[in-house]
Structure 1
Amino acid sequence: MPRVGIITSDFRFYHDVIKQLRLWKIPFVSLDLKGSIPDDVVVILSSIRDEIDLPDQVKAQDGIDGIRRAIPRLLNKTMFKDLIIGIDPGPKPGIAVFGDDVLLEAFECPTVSSVRKFVDSISMSYSYENIVIKIGNGDKPNREIIINRLSDMDISIEVVNEKNTSTPHKIHDNALSAARIAQINGLYPIKRIPVKFSRKNVYEKEFVTLKNVIEGTGAAERRGTNST
């Protein structure tokens, strides 16, 4: 299973990146310059304030910035070909990010006015060739506010039909709806929605997630080792 290595003398960055890696459930290991780097460490995270330069190193402002910059390396890429940001408009908009059809993150914004800040952060931290924003056609007042706030960004914005993205209503989740909106080409296929699921496992059941891919890579490596 690929891991992130952390080498930094920036105390604040160190604690922030560890906190975020745990929240994102990304495997990591703390390293120092005196020791060797394990074979399963595919990227080294350091602070932009660190003066050291290392192979496979990513320097970042903070934990989330570092994770987003490191994710392509965890997936054996230097960058994504296509990054899609899905937005479910509403008083507390949902945001989801897909890189080459892998769900990287999904969360709920506290306010409509905060969407621009999050989209700015996402677009600046990830590495990609192409980027697009897909926003659902519901909640017209909030949708128009969001589009207006994003309109001066150099990112294409598509308004898509969000029918079926809130099913079932009893488990409605703005971040989940945003993930579905990001995957829309026409209408979201109702058959993609699992018959049985919970808030805890719906993302893993419905999408290819970052967690799935990282753990799957590790499983494939173990199978390969066992077969030799």
Structure 2
Amino acid sequence: MTQDFTVYYKIAKFLSDRNISYIHLQPEDLVPPDVTVIITTKEESDKIEHPNKIVITRENDINEFLENILVFMRSGGNIEHIIIGVDPGEDPGLVVLNNGIVISAKHLKKPEEVGKEVKRILRKYSPKSCIIRVGSLSGIYMYRVLKSLKGVDARIEIVDETTTSLRLRRNSDILAAIRIAMRSGREIDIDTLEEIDVPKGLIRDIQRRSRILSKGKITISRDLAIEVALGKISLEKAIEKMYERKRHNKLSIKE
């Protein structure tokens, strides 16, 4: 519902390209009962009475408000409850489900980004309730994901991934996250989360990667490898610290 031709053109093209049916109304028109979502401008929104309004402004990033349109269309205009599924890993997969339908899916660069992304999702959709389900494999990455969720107002569950049906999914982090989201898990209290032991194999792998990244010049120590595994520092920072330690040791020997 808008008289702004520029806004109307953008929305009409977006909906038409995706074969989504719509009607164009003026702000003063009566809304037919079968209309589930109203799209309008900030200036015209006060004139329109409807429970589901998407309000856009000229300053909005077009991708953002078009994404919101799709979300409302897929969800039937009702986002009261969402489930977030997370497949832990070095670059976690994360999906958002509403009424069993995926309304958002993405890869994150590191486990620590999960908490920030979840908070952004909760601000964006403002659901009445939310469940976050995290896969149980990749223990150290699961731990880092859970740590990032401290302070998030939602029920958090760990989903058992040891069953065959879930183990077969490692070729797709997003598919894994969907399956995790659709499976009930064991609720966990983040505030009681304790630091876990880093597997020796992972420590050795991080040390190996430090040699590769430094082109064979250095291997970081075990304690630095543990900090990298726990997400406390980056591998690059650990290499810098190791260089600094070696430089300091050489100076001490000379003295």
Which residue in 2 is equivalent to 1:107? 106
Q: How does 1:156-195 map to 2 (within 5 A)?
A: 156-163=155-162, 164-169=165-170, 172-185=171-184
Contact 2:87/2:135 (CA < 8 Å) preserved in 1? yes
Q: How many pairs are equivalent?
A: 175
Q: Deviations over 1:40-82 (max 9, x none)?
A: 65312345xx2212233222565446644774565445433x3
Q: Percent identity?
A: 23
Which residue in 2 is equivalent to 1:118? 117
Contact 1:68/1:125 (CA < 8 Å) preserved in 2? no
SS of residue matched to 2:141: helix
Displaced runs of 4+ in structure 1, greater than 6 A? 17-23, 34-40
Which residue in 2 is equivalent to 1:27? 20
Aligned pair partner of 1:44 in 38, 53, 63? 38
Q: Taking structure 1 as reference, are residues 93 and 30 closer, same or farther at Cα in structure 2, changes over 3 Å only?
A: farther
- Name which one, 1 or 2, has greater alpha-carbon Rg: 2
Unaligned runs of 5+ in 1: 1-5, 188-228
CA distance, structure 2, for counterparts of residue 139 and residue 155 of structure 1: 22
Q: Deviations over 1:8-36 (max 9, x none)?
A: 86979x86x7898799x583659574896
SS of residue matched to 2:112: helix
CA distance, structure 2, for counterparts of residue 10 and residue 151 of structure 1: 45
SS of residue matched to 1:154: coil
Which residue in 2 is equivalent to 1:55? 49
Contact 2:130/2:155 (CA < 8 Å) preserved in 1? yes
Q: Higher strand share goes to which structure?
A: 1
Give TM-score, length-normalised by structure 1. Answer: 0.58
CA RMSD of superposed structures (Å): 4.0
Give TM-score, length-normalised by structure 2. Answer: 0.53
CA distance, structure 1, for counterparts of residue 145 and residue 121 of structure 2: 16
The higher-RCO structure (CA 8 Å, 6+ apart) is: 1
Which residue in 1 is equivalent to 2:141? 142
Q: Which moved more, 1:147-156 or 1:27-36?
A: 27-36
